[in-house]
Amino acid sequence: MRSDTVKRIATECGFELAGIAAAEPIAADVARFEHWVERGMAGEMRYMTDRRAELRRDPRSLLPSARSVICVGKLYNAAPEVKDPPVSRYAWGSRDYHDVLREGLQQLVKRLLEIEPFDWRICVDTAPLLERSYARQAGLGWIGKNTCLIHEPLGSWFFLAEILASLELEPDGPPPDRCGSCTRCIDACPTHALIPNEDGSTTLDSRRCISYLTIELRGPAPDDLRPGIAHHIFGCDICQDVCPWNSRAPVTDEPAFAPRDQPPLQSIARMSEEEFRTYSRGTPLVRPKYAGFMRNVEIALENTER
């Protein structure tokens, strides 16, 4: 099977980005990830540090017959309903992106199997795979100083997903890093979660990241970081909002990612647990659960009253 055939069909299945990487370890990125974990920067995200950390070294630990990683990106950028919304852009829609991407990948697998039989495994965010690294190797973009994958000229508002395949496909190559001397994302982060490195890259200290604090963290947020969380109640887009490569980013036409009406903070604060379940059902908002979400609302209200 030809790589350009795979990428063409991926586009027809609703993915704006598609490329091929070899299904083999990326030694430098594995070492960087392991050093990041050793420094404690994964915080309480145990799925990054338990036995699954070992699996991230080699995609063939997930599919032994894998020869290629088919990498795709699906645009989720949408026009905001309000200025500076409290919910991260990826959670504005009516459906969980995992389901939307998986459906598209299943369609892609089905069409590829009509051409040639092969072993496969779908990976959507939750699999122990260094997906940004393989997306970069597949030519989908470079890893920016905000640690997001950035595509020239479409920006960084993309969900990433992969198909591990036993197909021997011609791999693409990584594009050049085009962040240059820009430090807008580093400078804009209110909790100073992006740490500059001597080589010009950055390291994300998850323990200080607003997305981590409002989604992954269980229990109270550190007192010194609560003011920086500001009005955010689920995730944060600041480091992407300020990125120049997103200034002309296209808007998705995917209905599942169209913004829903967001009630004001005061109304959310009065939600019962059952009302929260109804409000968040089928969306990424379920992740912090009721207790975590209400903690976030409490912090946001506290900050708006300062």
Q: Where residue 305 falls among pLDDT bands split at 50, 70, 90?
A: confident
Strand ranges of the sheet holding 120-123, from the earlier edge strand across to the other edge:
17-22, 68-75, 158-165, 120-123
Q: Which residues contact 86 (CB under 8 A, 6 or more apart)?
A: 231, 232, 233, 234, 262, 265, 300
Predicted local distance difference test score (pLDDT) of residue 73: 98
Instruction: Write out the two tokens for 42.
Output: 């994964």
Q: Are strands 158-165 and 120-123 parallel, antiparallel or unpaired?
A: antiparallel
How many angstroms separate the CA atoms of 48 and 206, rounded? 11
Q: 150 in helix, strand or coil?
A: strand
125 annotated active-site: yes
pLDDT given at position 50: 86
**pLDDT per position as a tens digit, 106-155:** 999 999 999 999 999 999 988 999 999 999 999 999 999 999 999 999 99
Distance of CA 60 to the CA centre of its chain: 22
Per-residue confidence (pLDDT) for residue 103, from 0 to 100: 98
| pLDDT tens column, 160-183 | 999 999 999 999 999 999 999 999
Q: Which letter, b or e, does each residue of 90-114 get, where b requires 16 or more Cβ atoms within 10 Å of its Cβ?
A: bbbbebbbeebbbebbeebbeebee
Q: What are phi and psi of 186, to 5 degrees?
A: -65, -45
Mean pLDDT score across all residues of the chain: 95
* Residue range 187-203, pLDDT digits in tens: 999 999 999 998 888 99
CA 64 to chain CA centroid, Å, is: 25
Confidence class of residue 63 from pLDDT cuts 50, 70 and 90? very high
Q: What is the pLDDT of residue 95?
A: 94
C-alpha angle with apex 235: 223 to 131, nearest 5 degrees? Answer: 120
Distance CA 243, CA 245 (A): 5
Q: Domain limits of the chain?
A: 3-165, 184-248+260-304
In single-letter form, the type of residue at position 32 comes to R
Catalytic choice (4, 99, 125, 237): 125
Element (H, E) at 73: strand 68-75
pTM for the whole structure: 0.95
